[in-house]
Amino acid sequence: MGLMSAITGNASEISAEAIEDEVGPILASGEQITKAYKLIRDYFVFTNSRVILVDKQGITGTQIEFLSIPYRSITSFSIETAGLGFNDSVLTLHIHGMDDIRREFKKSINIAEVQMALAEQLNRS
């Protein structure tokens, strides 16, 4: 992830292997990571059964909060595609009983691919 992306808080796609050590222990039997995106120290993960938001807290980031959102709790979602200039794509998840979750993606990330993966998972649940 480039410095400008880190400063502006944009997500970059990362491999499942890059986060396996931290997320692996909380995965259910048979659960697999399908997509993952990093935002400075934090990241969020799409699995075949839920979205996991990982929030590394404190200066050292040794304390980690894992927020698990089952796909059945996502009531809807929206995407905003990147425009001209410095605009980035945005994914907003509308969660039953929670505040909306909004994440920005670099222009290099195909937001249509992200929404397709999310839509497929929502259709399965």
pTM of the model: 0.77
How many domains, in total, are found in the chain?
1
DSSP track, 60-120 = T--EEEEEEEEGGGEEEEEEE---STT--EEEEEEETTS--EEEEE-TTS-HHHHHHHHHH
Structural domain that includes position 116:
3-124
Minimum mean pLDDT among 3-7, 32-36, 53-57: which range? 3-7
CATH code, domain with 79: 2.30.29.50
Is residue 65 within 8 A of residue 49, CB to CB? The reply is no
Interval 18-30: pLDDT, tens: 888 889 999 999 9
pLDDT in tens, 68-114: 999 999 999 999 887 766 668 888 999 999 999 988 877 777 788 88
- Which pLDDT belongs to residue 112? 81
Q: How confident is the model at residue 8 (pLDDT cuts 50, 70, 90)?
A: very low
DSSP class of residue 1 equals: -
